[in-house]
Structure 1
Amino acid sequence: MKFLARSLGLILVAAGFVGLVIDGTRSIVNNSLSFASVAGMVDALVPGGISGLQEKVTSQVHPLLWDPVLVHLVQLPASVTGFFLGAFLLWLGQKPLEPIGYLAGR
């Protein structure tokens, strides 16, 4: 399980870095700060996009979860969100540290 968390974390950190480079390039070309949002990425990758996600959350979980919480989360920059989510998964999947002064086998 830790291997899966580390692998997915490394992929998300790399994707966040690539997204940050793309957003930076787009910002330089447009002469204004612009980021691709999580909502834009979900719309591009998932059929049904944000509207399908909204219907599922409001019908299956709770309608109040969508409006105050998830509306703000899908407006975050996708590159920064992917980077922090990947860093969190890397932290969860790290190997336990060996205690100092402990000799294995004795």
Structure 2
Amino acid sequence: MIRFLFRFIGFWLLAGGFVALIVDGTRSIAASALVFTSTGDAWFALSPGSLEQAERSGRAGMPLVWNNAILPLLSLPAFVLLVVVGVMLMTLGRVRERSRFEVG
């Protein structure tokens, strides 16, 4: 059940990363320059209130983690983060092949 959930969420994150790549590609063609949407900008476009709440709680609770781990992730292009997390979840949820030499 957990493997299925990892694969399911990973698949949708990969699909979202592909869509973000297509959107960035379209914007790049229109602007005649490379244009990438950062993860923070994408999050702000989808739900500005939750981003502000996460920033407030992150700065108040663990400012070192917020500044050194979360902010660099928010500056990554959205498609990169979505694809990396999607691949990680798909890898965690993969069905392992049984070896023909395995006993039991």
TM-score (norm 2): 0.89
RMSD of aligned residue pairs (Cα, Å): 1.6
Give 1:48 shift. Answer: 1.5
Q: Name the CA distance, whole Å, in 2 between partners of 1:102 and 1:63.
A: 49
Q: Name the CA distance, whole Å, in 2 between partners of 1:74 and 1:8.
A: 20
Counterparts of 1:1-106 in structure 2 under 5 Å? Answer: 1-60=2-61, 62-102=62-102
Q: Secondary structure at the match of 2:75?
A: coil
Give 1:22 shift. Answer: 1.0
1:64–1:103 CA distance, 2 compared to 1 (3 A):
closer
Q: Identity over aligned residues, as a percent?
A: 34
Higher helix share: 2
Q: Name the CA distance, whole Å, in 2 between partners of 1:37 and 1:49.
A: 16
How many residue pairs are counted as aligned between the two chains? 103
Show structure 1 runs of 4+ deviating over 4 A: none
| Higher CA-based Rg | 1
Consecutive unaligned residues of structure 1, counting only runs of 5 or more, are none
Consecutive unaligned residues of structure 2, counting only runs of 5 or more, are none
